[in-house]
Amino acid sequence: MVQSAKRHRDAAARHEAVAATHDEAARLWEAQGGDARAALHRDAAMHARAGAALELRWAELIESDGREGGSDRAAVEGLEADIEAREIDLEMREAELGAREQRATRREVTADRRESRADQRDRGADAREEAADRREELADVREGTAAARETERVERLREQEDRVRAHNDREQAAIEREMAAAEDELGLDE
């Protein structure tokens, strides 16, 4: 844009030089009595000055567009700064949301583990209830026969195995509770 305004200013200078040449020629023809030619040179000089004025107007218009464009550029830069600030804000919110999502996921995993332990306890209670039902059935069947005694002995072995398994399950549940409590403490610290 600056080059375009300079070209118009250079053209205006050329028009002024042409007008000066026509003025000089008009004086020479006037001195020699060539009034018609002198009038033509004066008209040509006037036309050249009008061209110079037109070229100067173009240059000024282009230069004022450049100045206004500068304010437009400042407005665009201001908009870009606003957009960048909004992008940074959005990135910060996304990071915060990601952190919240991680905490929520950890809480869900902890809740799933607790639910799993509760299910294990329920299965253990169901197994104990079944063992009690079998004992009751055995008590009904008990008539002192060898087969009944053998069945009773096998059942006692099963009950003993169930008790050992229940004991192991309780120990495992206690370990898992301690792990969950430690995870909860770590999750709360974050």
Structural contact between residues 11 and 55, judged by C-beta atoms closer than 8 angstroms:
yes
User: For residue 79, is it within any domain?
Assistant: no
Instruction: Report if residue 159 sits inside a domain.
Output: yes
- The answer to whether residue 118 is domain-embedded is yes
107 with 170, same domain?
yes
Last residue of a domain, one of 27, 53, 72: 72
Q: Compute the distance between CA of residue 170 and CA of residue 121 in angstroms, rounded to an integer.
A: 8
Dist CA 51 CA 56 (whole Å): 9
81 within a domain of the structure (yes/no):
no
Rounded distance between C-alpha atoms, residue 113 and residue 177, angstroms: 9
Question: Is residue 80 in some structural domain?
Answer: no
Q: Are residues 152 and 108 in the same domain?
A: yes
160 pLDDT higher than 60: yes
CA separation for the pair 142, 135 (Å, rounded): 10
Q: What is the pLDDT of residues 37-53, one digit of tens each?
A: 999 989 999 998 998 99
Shared domain check, 184 and 108: yes
Confidence of residue 145 (pLDDT cuts 50, 70, 90): low
List CB contacts of 155: < 8 A, sequence separation 6 or more: 134, 135, 138
Do 167 and 105 lie in one domain? The reply is: yes
Same domain, 46 and 106: no
pLDDT at 115 over 70: yes
Q: Is 116 found in the same domain as 185?
A: yes
115 plus 67 within the same structural domain: no
Between CA 139 and CA 159 the distance in angstroms is 14
Domain enclosing residue 51, as ranges: 2-72
Pairwise CA distance, residues 165 & 128, whole Å: 11
Q: Judge if 113 and 180 occupy the same domain.
A: yes
My answer on whether 112 and 61 are in the same domain is no
Residue 82 lies in a domain: no
Q: For 66-70, which contacts have Cβ atoms below 8 Å and span 24 or more sequence positions?
A: 66/1, 66/2, 66/5, 69/1
Residue 26 pLDDT greater than 70, yes or no: yes
Closest CA to 117 of 59, 36, 183: 183
Which residue matches tokens 């004992």? Answer: 135
Rounded to an integer, the average pLDDT of 89-118 is 83
Q: How many domains does the chain have?
A: 2
How would residue 73 be classed by pLDDT, with cut points 50, 70 and 90? low
Residue 11 DSSP label: H
Residues 64 and 106 in one domain: no
Q: Is residue 40 part of a domain?
A: yes
150 in a structural domain? yes
